[in-house]
């Protein structure tokens, strides 16, 4: 399970755009983290704690499910992303 890549996508970039092109630094300041952490979350390199995830959702005034989307193993998107990951690892 630890080595298994978790597929959670996020809409932070889109939400920032609709929030008047909010900067990563501004979002970081509002949620109490560094800009680097926001960059890592946006790029799907870091999955935030539940608390931070809620703080991000609260900043945009949207439910958590509008910010993050989880793809279960039997989901076609999960399979697609996994195949993409395997292909990337082979290269």
Partner 1 sequence: MGHHEKQSIVSIIGSVLVIGFYSLYVYRNYIQADMELLNDFQFWGKSFLYLIPVAIVVQIVIQILFAIANRIITQEDLPDITDERDKLIELKCIRISHWIFILGFMLAMGSLAMGMKPYVMFLTLISSGFLASLASEAAKIIYYRMGA
Residue 2 phi/psi, 5-degree rounding, is -65, -40
User: Which CB atom, from 50 or from 76, has the smaller least distance to partner 1?
Assistant: 50
Chosen residue from 19, 22, 52, 81 binding partner 1 by CB under 8 A: 52
Q: Hey, is 36 helix, strand or coil?
A: helix
Q: Does 63 bind partner 1 (CB under 8 A)?
A: no
Q: Distance between CA 42 and CA 58 in Å, rounded?
A: 16
9 binds partner 1 (CB under 8 A): no
Strand partners of residue 70: 8
Interface with partner 1 by CB under 8 A: which residues? Answer: 32-34, 36-37, 40, 43-46, 48-49, 52
């Amino acid at each position: 399970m630890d080595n298994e890549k978790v597929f959670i996508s996020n809409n932070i970039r889109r939400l920032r755009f609709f929030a008047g092109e909010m900067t990563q630094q501004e979002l970081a300041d509002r949620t109490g983290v560094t800009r680097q952490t926001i960059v890592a979350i946006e790029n799907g390199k870091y999955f935030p704690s539940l608390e931070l995830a809620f703080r991000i959702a609260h900043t945009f005034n949207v439910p958590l499910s509008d910010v993050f989307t989880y793809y279960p193993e039997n989901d076609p998107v999960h399979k697609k992303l996994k195949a993409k990951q395997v292909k990337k690892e082979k290269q």
